[in-house]
Structure 1
Amino acid sequence: MKNLSFEMIGRIGVVRINRPRALNALNKPTVEELDELIEKIKKDSEIKVLIIGSDNNFAAGADIKGMVNCNVEEAKDFSFSKTFQKIYNLEIPTIAAIDGYALGGGLELALACDFRIASTNAKVGFPEINLGIMPGAGGTIRAPRLLGVSRAKELIFFGEMISADRAEQMGLVNKIVEQEKLMEVVMEWAEKLCKKPPVALRVAKKTIDAGISEPKLNYAIKIEYENWADLFNTEDQKEGMRAFIEKRQPIYQGK
């Protein structure tokens, strides 16, 4: 891979964007590489958690030079939306490790993850409005669901960067840590997740996403009820409850 790196640390997959001269801005070749990598990760049962990050800057938006002369159809072809949706739809937990800039498409990439942990020097925002466009890879959809409509409009309409502290206050990031401890803390979260029952994690993630998308509360509750009951047909449920009764640590098999 030219624009990305990938490594396995135990059962944790770590993806890094590697375009330092462009502040890790996302261009089409980078996202195409990411798309191919996500397809491989989907099929790899050994990966229990995925971390997405970069050194110094998470991703400073998209490559504007590659978009400036696009027509409507070319803009659709340039969009990162389908790839980011694949990340959002991954069955395993995902964590964005945000250092430095996470702007525009970079922030949308982070929003496609389940968790966002930021360094104290992180700067995030949606500057697209200042370019005559708007977020187009999930930003106008995921931000309101995460932050509420008014907070999302504040970010999108004004197009200003905000600090890590402000992002945490708004609920945009889960945790802030010192820059030198960012990956250490992200790995701690990932390792804790690796110890949880994989099937229950997968079903919980699926159920939360289904509940958010379902406008009728009664039907959403029914989805939860059925998914919860189905877990009682798994070996992990039996192991988890027996371990609790026997006062020992459970050993989950993901079955």
Structure 2
Amino acid sequence: MNSLRIEERGDRMVVTLDRPEKRNAIDAGMVAELHELCATLEQHPKLLLLTGGTDGIFAGGADIGQLRDRGRMDALAAINVGVFERLRRLPMPTLAALDGPALGGGAELAYACDLRICTSRTFFGQPEVKLGIIAGAGATYRLPALIGEALAKELLFTGRRVPAAEALAIRLVNRVVEEPGELLVAAHSLLDEIAGGSALALRLTKLAVDAPAAHPAAELLAQAVLFEDEEKRERMDEFLSRRQRPR
């Protein structure tokens, strides 16, 4: 791949955006490679860690050179939003680890992940209205879901940048680390916590949370499947045996 660096580990895929000369701007080539990545993770589900590395840039947005020449049929083709939706629907949990700017489509790429952690020098922004367009790759509905409608509208209307401390306060990110060198350590630590759970339970939990309107039937169906899963019995037997051991 030309735009992504991929490291496959036992329980996770580590993917680094790799267009440093373009500040990791999201172009058609990167979109195509993200589709390839999603196809792999759909067939062979693993945790995903998505990062821009620790060089002070996550993603500076969509490639404006390409965006400028797109017409209405390109918008209807859902070029960026299509791959972000696919990323959002991946079977296993996804984590974006950000260092530096996450602007426009770069921010929307991070919103498409289940969780986000960042460094203290990270900031988010949706400057699209200043370019004569809307944030058309998920921010108009994901941002309100993450931080509330009124604040999301303020950010979308003004294009104001949100620094890391504020992002944590409004729960746009889950954690902030001070130094870039701590970012990937913290990201893997969080994924290690997640990986301690049943893979099937993780998948069904994600499905239940992401179900439209958090439909209770999704929870019931997920629980019904898990109640018949052998790993559930093994984990609960282990828990009960620990409680019964003399102290």
Distance (Å, rounded) in 2 between the aligned partners of 1:209 and 1:237: 22
Task: Look up the match of 1:227.
Answer: 222
Question: Who is 1:59 aligned against?
Answer: 59
Q: Which residue number in structure 2 is paired with residue 192 of structure 1? A: 193
Task: State the 1:85 CA deviation.
Answer: 0.7
Aligned equivalent of 1:239, options 226, 234, 238: 234
TM-score normalised per structure 2: 0.93
| Partner residue, 1:253 | none
C-alpha distance in 2 between matches for 1:109 and 1:101: 12
Query: Where does residue 73 of structure 1 map in the other structure?
Result: 73
Alpha-carbon distance in structure 2 between the residues aligned to 1:16 and 1:6: 7
Amino acid at match of 1:197: S
- Provide the C-alpha distance between the structure 2 equivalents of 1:193 and 1:224, rounded to a whole number of angstroms: 19
Q: Quick check: 1:67–1:75 contact (8 Å CA) kept in 2?
A: no
8 A Cα contact 2:31 2:79, kept in partner: no
Q: Distance in 1 between matches of 2:196 and 2:58?
A: 27
Deviation at 1:129, TM superposition (A): 1.0
Q: TM-score, normalised by structure 1?
A: 0.90
| Structure 1 residue 78, shift from structure 2 partner | 6.4
Secondary structure of the structure 2 residue equivalent to 1:236: helix
Q: Distance in 2 between matches of 1:30 and 1:115?
A: 21
Q: Percent identity?
A: 36
Quote the Cα distance in structure 1 between the aligned partners of 2:9 and 2:158: 40
SS of the residue aligned with 2:116? strand
Q: Could you tell me which residue of structure 2 aligns to residue 128 of structure 1?
A: 128
Match of 2:97 in 1: 97
**Within 2, Cα distance between the matches of 1:143 and 1:4?**
25
Aligned to 2:142: 142
Deviation readout 1:131-159 (Å, 9 max, x if unpaired): 01111111101111111101111111111
Give 1:222 deviation, angstroms. Answer: 3.2
Instruction: Report the Cα offset of residue 171 of structure 1.
Output: 1.1
Q: CA offsets per residue over residues 181-235 of structure 1, 9 Å max, x none?
A: 000000101112122101111111100111xx22xx7xx2233233223311101
CA distance in 1, matches of 2:229, 2:49: 27
Aligned length: 240
Q: Which residue of 1 aligns with 2:48?
A: 50
For the Cα contact (< 8 Å) 1:28–1:78, is it kept in 2? no
1:135-214 to structure 2, matched below 5 A, reads: 135-178=135-178, 179-210=180-211, 213-214=212-213
Distance of 1:115 and 1:226 partners within structure 2: 24
Q: Tell me the SS of whatever aligns to 1:67.
A: helix
State how far apart, in whole Å, the 2-side matches of 1:124 and 1:51 are.
19
What is the distance in 2 between the residues matched to 1:241 and 1:23?
48
1:79·1:136 contact (CA, 8 Å) conserved in 2? no
Per-residue deviation at 1:38? 1.2
- What secondary structure does 1:156 align onto? helix
Alpha carbon RMSD of aligned pairs, Å?
1.5
Shift of 1:236: 1.6
Match of 1:117 in 2: 117
Q: For structure 1, which runs of at least 5 residues remain unmatched after alignment? A: 249-255
